[in-house]
Amino acid sequence: MEMTVSPPDPGSEPGRPAMLRVPTVGDPARWAAGARDELRTALVEHGAVLVRGLGLRDPRDVAAVLGQLDVEPVAEKETFAPRQSYSPGVHSSSAWPPNQPMCMHHELSYTLGFPRLLLFACLAEPTTGGATGLADAAEVLDALPRALTDRFEREGWLLTRSYNGEIGATVTEAFGTDDRDAVERYCSAHAIDCAWQPDGGLRTGQRRSAVVRHPADGRRCWFNQVAFLNEWTLDPEVREYLVDEYGADGLPFNTRYGDGEAIGEDVVRLINSVYEQHTVRRPWQAGDLLLVDNIRTAHSREAYEGPRDVVVAMASPARPDTCSPTIERGPL
C-alpha cells in the first residue's frame, strides 16, 4: 500500500520535536503497517517523532497500531502509580495530579525489562498545558557537570520504595500479587532487596546504572529517574505531609546516590534545569501519535487543565546488560 509521509523537519521549528504529517486515514493500523520503515528511520534519526493526522479515537486504535509495528509489548511491573490496562502493553497514563508536572524521566528505567519503544496517543487534548516534553539523553549527559555524572557512572543510583497501602502503588499493583513468597521471588530474580515491616508494609531498594550506551550506536545516554522520583521533586506541601506521616525513610519513593548518600535539593534542581534547557515540546492535538526511543529520549508532562486523555503503549523490552551498564545491584 502506498503511503505519503512528509519527512520530519525539526530545523524549521526550533523547540519542536520532529513531526510526520499524514493525510487523513480511515484505518490507522493499516497506515502503520505501510509506514513501519519510515517510522523506524525517523526514530533512528531523531529519537522521537510525532505523527499528526491519524485520527486515533480509542485504546483499540492504539493497540491495533502497536500490533502493526512488529514489536513485542511490555507488561508493566513495579509501577509507582496506578494505571488502567487496556490490552497487552497498552495502558492509561499514570495517575498524577493535573496541577503538578511530571519531571523528565526514562520509563521504567529502574527495572530489568524496560521498554525501548514508547507510544503516546492523544485521544482528548487538554484545554491548556499538558504537553509531553522530550529531551535528548546524550545531550543532557554532556551538559551536566562532569564530576556529577562521573560519580553516578561509578556508583549508579539507588531507588528506595515504601509500600504502605495508602500512598502510591500498592504491593499488588506493583508486583501483580500480594503473596509474600511470590513478591520475594520476583525481587530476588530482578535484583531488588526487600524487607517486610512490622506493620505489614514492604520496603525495597534497587541500584541501577545512571548512564548507559544505546545498543544501536553506542552513544552514552543519561538514563534514569534520579530527579523525577526524588523527594525534592515533590510539591513542598506534599513532601512535608509525607515526611510527617511516614518519616524520612518511609516515603513512597525516593532516590539516592548509589552508595546510599542523600541527593541534595541543589543537585535535583540542577538536573531538572539542564533537562529544561534541552526540552522540545509541541501541544497535543486529538488523534496524535508520539513515538519515543525510551533510551535516547527522556520525556515529561506539563501541568494542565481540561480533559487530557493520553494512552501509553510500551514495547521492545530490553535488559540493562544490552546497554553496557556499570551497575546492576546494591544493598537496601
Give the three cell numbers for residue 322: 544490552
pLDDT at 123: 97
CATH code, residues 139-272: 3.60.130.10
| pLDDT tens digits, one per residue of 121-148 | 999 999 999 999 999 999 999 999 999 9
Residue 153 contacts by C-beta under 8 Å, 6 or more apart in sequence?
A: 209, 210, 211, 326
Residue found under cell 534542581: 269
pLDDT at 13: 67
With 0-12 / 13-18 / 19 or more C-beta atoms within 10 angstroms meaning exposed / middle / buried, residue 109 is buried
Q: Which residues pair with 39 in a beta bridge?
A: none
Per-block mean pLDDT, blocks of 10 residues, the chain (332 long): 41 76 86 94 95 94 96 92 90 89 95 96 96 98 98 97 85 94 97 94 96 95 97 90 89 95 97 97 96 98 95 93 75 44
pLDDT at 248: 86
Please tell me whether the overall predicted TM-score, pTM, comes out greater than 0.75 for this model: yes
- Residue intervals in the chain for CATH 3.60.130.10: 10-97+113-135+283-319, 139-272
Strands 289-293 and 128-129: unpaired
Q: How many residues does the chain have?
A: 332
Distance CA 56, CA 201 (A): 41
Question: Does domain 10-97+113-135+283-319 sit in CATH 3.10.310.10?
Answer: no
pLDDT at 19: 94
pLDDT at 165: 73
